Structure 1
């Protein structure tokens, strides 16, 4: 298949593109052209500015793709700028579990229905992240009802290649015994491994499914469990204090993500606790090597 990937040059987008190439698809990457990638001549490339409708029109008009995977649409205008001009048989949008109001235990796709919410055409800075992602889905499901689309909803993606360094924050602060302000240390939460996040999207390109779709590793874990493991491995003590630096996962509730729909399509996610402590060991060794 001919597949256009908008974004895809970093983090789990790299895993996704590599898996698409492994499957034998013809992949075109659309970016601003600022970031180098490692795909060489395995992919085609086009240059566009994602937030500029004229740039999108110039780049995508008169082109036909079997699949468009949009990793960097954040708001309703972003959806509009691509679907007003793009010609594709399927559109896969990278959404987020942040659309749920709020996430909770056993969160299922039907817990957020974008058809029940008023659509507001907005730009990326008009609302907080959670709301612009909701509005992107409102645009997708209300204004483009005839598009064969999937909205993939992930919790936090983590891995050795995680540029956000959010999980690393907790481990580094513990090892260096720097105080942290953590407001949800005992909340069970879901995550997905970065390589799996990429592979799941590539898995979906030939699946007969339309609608929102959760993706997540099986099981949950609390920050407390991770800190306890770091303390055990290092002999250090996690310093939790209201006067400490605010932790990156603050304000997240206790929740889990139900992935039954994905499993029914044939995708088996890994068990979170089969790999997260190995990742924690990697971060521990990384930090200790730099001390």
Structure 2
């Protein structure tokens, strides 16, 4: 039986991952602040990131899946805590690491190389508001710390924009509510497409990455891309109320000022088979409409 530690894992696709690992027969430990009880059959260790080493002691795991590492400081603490105690570390990273690239085609993992990324642990990562404003940079630097200093195998799963299920971000729900109630949706004069992934598929991908042997960054996204107007048109088709668009600065969650696509060739070459966004999007929209 494999021993797997999930840091975070108390909501959304993280909790789905924990359930998937448990049901597959793994011995799962979740490490979080304990605000939500772990599912039956899953051990829970309540601590924050600063207390990782003390809370886990000399316990060893086959794999750690880290859902909540956002800065180089947090990454360095994890490397120190798990040094000599694990074989593999999977970091849930993000499509946002590509935010400095103005591309017109899906970006491969090589577009952001963590081995070449400068790290700045002295920046005010703990200052309220700083991390939120520098989320993409924090993730890039966290990847870099693991890639350059970890004495164990490391994978960075760069997830597309996640939709479906109990999405705490409320982004799809925002559009569902606006379209259904005939409120104008802010868009840009030119709207760019993005890569998406279903929450259950991302959980399945993370489990796959935990069980595999490859290393390095890997993009995780379903086939097919949408821009904000196409997404709202899909919502309108399900509600019977065509969307109303308000062209301007586009201050809404998926009104992107640049193309936001990733290539998923590496993952597929390694053996993972992705779904198509168009196949699961109607159900995700239905969930958002129910929650709106």
Shared topology, TM-score over 0.5? Answer: yes
What is the count of residue pairs matched by the alignment? 281
- Within a 5 Å distance, the mapping from 1:259-274 to structure 2 comes to 259-274=264-279
Q: Which moved more, 1:198-207 or 1:70-79?
A: 198-207
Q: What corresponds to 2:72 in structure 1? A: 76
The 1:257–1:14 alpha-carbon spacing in structure 2 relative to 1, beyond 3 Å, is: same
CA contact (8 A) 1:179 1:244 kept: no
Q: Which residue of 2 aligns with 1:19?
A: 20
Equivalent in the alignment of 2:141: 135
Structure 1: unaligned runs, 5 residues or longer: none
- Runs of 4+ more than 6 Å apart: none
The answer as to 2:119 corresponding to 1:113 is no
The reply to whether residue 172 of structure 1 matches residue 177 of structure 2 is yes
1:106-140 deviation per Cα after TM superposition (whole angstroms, max 9, x unaligned) = 21110101222211115253551111111111211
CA contact (8 A) 2:62 2:88 kept: yes
**TM-score (normalizing by structure 1):** 0.89
Residue 233 (structure 2) aligns with: 228
C-alpha distance in structure 1 between counterparts of 2:35 and 2:102, whole Å: 35
Q: How far is 1:218 from its partner?
A: 0.9
Contact 1:180/1:243, CA 8 A, preserved across alignment: no
**Secondary structure class of the residue paired with 2:15:** helix
Distance 2:102 2:261 in 1: 8
Deviation string 1:243-278 (CA, Å, 9 cap, x unpaired) is 799311234522322112211222111011111123
Q: SS of 1:56's equivalent?
A: helix
Which residue in the other structure is 1:49 paired with?
48
Larger deviation: 24-33 or 224-233?
A: 224-233
Alpha-carbon contact 1:97-1:103 (below 8 Å) kept: no
Contact conserved, 2:96 with 2:136, CA < 8 A, in 1?
A: yes
Structure-2 separation of matches of 1:18 and 1:28: 11
Contact 1:184 1:253 in 2 (8 A): no
Q: Give the secondary-structure state (helix, strand or coil) at the position aligned to 2:54.
A: helix
Of stretches 183-192 and 260-269 in structure 1, the one that deviates more from structure 2 is: 183-192
CA displacement 1:5-33 (0-9 Å, x = unmatched): 10111100121111111221100010111
RMSD: 2.1
Cα separation, 1, equivalents of 2:223 and 2:242: 29
- Contact 2:143/2:156 (8 A) holds in 1: yes
8 A contact 2:186–2:249 mirrored in 1 = yes
Q: Distance in 2 between matches of 1:184 and 1:152?
A: 32
Q: CA deviation at 1:174?
A: 1.4
Aligned to 1:281: 286
State the distance in 2 between where 1:4 and 1:184 align.
Answer: 46
Q: 1:45 to 1:262 in 2, by over 3 A?
A: same
- CA–CA distance in structure 2, aligned partners of residues 184 and 206 of structure 1: 44
| 1:94 pairs with 2:92 | yes
Aligned equivalents of 1:154, 1:59: Cα separation in 2: 29
TM-score (norm 2): 0.89
Cα distance change on mapping 1:233 and 1:193 into 2, 3 Å: closer
